[in-house]
Amino acid sequence: MPDTIKIGDKWYVAVTEARIDDDPQVLKHGETFVMFDRFGDLQALGSSDQGLYHEDTRYLSQQLLLIDGVRPMYLSSSPKDDNSLLIIELMNPDLRAADGQTVRVAKGSLHIFRSKLLWQASCYEHIRVTNHGREAVSAKL
């Protein structure tokens, strides 16, 4: 049962963990397939089937994209071209300065485009980061 709080006439629900991603994004080409989460990541969580497989052998079971050590915020993802291409749209959460209080980069200032292509037993990834803010930004991917 989630914790609920009532303030005035509004109800709030405490969120303590992310919802488990039930629908993996699957790409397939020939004898190779890959199962990503909706962020385009591979996570080795419990008995997760996520990973890159070729001829029924898993070759990669974990790959995460972080920005300044935190996971980007999800916007959308969709497979294309007979499930050999996956397009993922993300944005940054508030990125804080070293003091942990000051917001260094406001949420949504950075748009992160990822594309994953499965072709001839290889998985290729293209990442493009676009700054929609007014100032230059330095961030670690």
Q: Cβ distance 36 to 79 under 8 Å?
A: no
Q: Which of 132, 85, 82, 86 is nearest to 105 (CA)?
A: 132
Bridge partners, residue 53, by sequence: 33, 58
- For the entire predicted model, the pTM comes to 0.79
Nearest to 37 by CA among 82, 71, 2: 71
Instruction: Give the separation between CA 93 and CA 71, rounded to whole angstroms.
Output: 8
> Tokens 């009532």, residue?
6
Q: pLDDT per position in the chain (141 positions), as tens?
A: 456 777 788 776 655 444 555 678 999 999 999 999 999 999 877 667 899 999 999 999 999 999 999 999 999 999 987 899 999 999 999 999 888 888 999 999 999 999 999 999 999 999 999 999 999 999 999
Where are the chain's structural domains? 18-131
